[in-house]
Structure 1
Amino acid sequence: MTRELPQTVAGTGLPEAVTIYEVGARDGLQNEQVVVPVEVKAEFLDRLAGTGLRTLEATSFVHPKWVPQLADAADLLARLTRVPGVDYPVLVPNERGLDRALEAGVGHVAVFASATETFAQRNLNRSLDEQFAMFDPVVARAVAAGLRVRGYVSMCFGDPWEGAVDPAQVAAVGRRLVDMGCDQLSLGDTIGTGTPGHVDAVLDACVAGGVPVDRIAVHFHDTYGQALSNTLAALRRGVTTVDASAGGLGGCPYAESATGNLATEDLVWMLDGLGISHGVDLDALVATSAWMAQQLGRPSPSRVVRALGG
């Protein structure tokens, strides 16, 4: 018996192709309480590259005190078998992180901003305005060195301390990052409370605030089961880059209510059903996530991985 496949029924008003920005190796693993061996991380990235994914966020040059799981960033990048055509971006919190990224020969970096005052204080030890003073030299130097720079914006759809977040505030933060030199913005639903209408409102505000939709990516968490519906809403608005994590791994170490990221397999299943091109071999991806789940000693939270027997 052959495995089940989604019946392809193309939707209207959707893009022909989507870029999947795979965050499993960084965002997916950063919350693990037991340190994952660097050899396992390197193999995970190699396996992910073999699935057809072309953007693999590898790690972060954050201080080991804050995220011990990523203390091996330089070692991991040195071990990587870099596949031609595959991009391996890394997160850099500050100029020291950028220095280390440049030393490692990285060609694509990301900074991690907050849309809210409280999370900026808790995550960056900076005020909402002060965070930009920290990012400005990082982005300027990275751009001058010929690197691509992504700007993450967290807490775009709700904050556990402040509650509702004004879409106009999200747009203002995003516009400042774009003006600074970021070529792409990833709008994050860090605690997973967003719903499709809310996605429309945030995208409307960003576009009205001067951020073109083709510069926007979305990063949804599935805390309340809304990640796929929110993704579909974003696709209908013209977004063509979607962040996802193989096997649904991950969350946020500074927001306790944040559970897993959107599972890459679940996203691929939906894209296949909609006839949207993405370039990923689902069987190879499921096998990779099943393998990683074995390394972590627990089942994959991805519904597609479980359904296909991974």
Structure 2
Amino acid sequence: MTDFEKSRIVAHGPSTRPVQIDGGGVVGFGPEALHDVVRQARENFIAMNVEHLNMLPPIGRWSDGEVKTMDDGEQQVMLFGETLDQFTASADFDDPFQSGDLGGEAPARLEVKLQVESRNFDPAVWAEAQAECPLPIEPVHKWSSLPPIEWLISVPVAWGAAKFLGSFLERMGEAIADGLLDWLKSTSRKAHEPGRDRYVTLSFDLPDRRAVYGFIPFAADDEELAAARNALDSAGTLAEVAGRMNDGVATDAHLVAYLFDGTEWRLAWFVTDAGAFRTKYFTENLPDPEKFLGRPLV
């Protein structure tokens, strides 16, 4: 049974008009970038998230768009999308994404980068954090007054069905394994509204733009981050799922998401053209979104 009726959604997207964003800075887009947004909406699955919390399954997808010239002469993207049917499992079931042979060879070293919304920090604080980060950093911009404190580790998937043994964190490099968690702790404390909970997202990005997510939530007062280390160490489970998908398993799944339960990775939800499917485990153990936003959901 679905949670709500499927409906068509139209939204004003980015434009060539310069916009002052909260936290400082001016953002504007060139005409080529606007047309690229439309192309991506038509060719790829672009999730429609709630309050930029990608820990929650998307409520819809953007599937089309057009670039319009406005009355002031500036150009703007009009995005067209539709809501996704939402399904919730009433009982536990076997994880369909962890079945299949693992006969390939896993890479010994992974090239990864960290994506962060820098407006969670004062400019001077963020400049210092960038200089000290053991991972390359790519800034991202989310159109909200104060986005959640999310540390997204992007991992390009260049392998097939392969077994990942040992510590996954160490595959990022010894210096990263030693310094990443300390950096996360110290930098999180310097964010705006540091009393909010935060989370690490592992994003295994397939060449066809599908992705496997792993979410590691942790509280603002968590000084040890032991669960986060265990989650990163055992993320080979997610790498194996991504490798199977890269080899052609579950080709109808656009996004597959896992939540770390303190000991192991548990399937949380997945999205196909038919809709978004939540597991019973995720429904019963969903972290409180308000703790990440610092306010109620809109």
Q: Same fold (TM over 0.5)?
A: no
The structure whose RCO (Cα within 8 Å, separation 6+) is larger is 1
Larger strand proportion of the pair:
2
Which entry has the higher C-alpha Rg, 1 or 2? 2
Larger helix proportion of the pair:
1
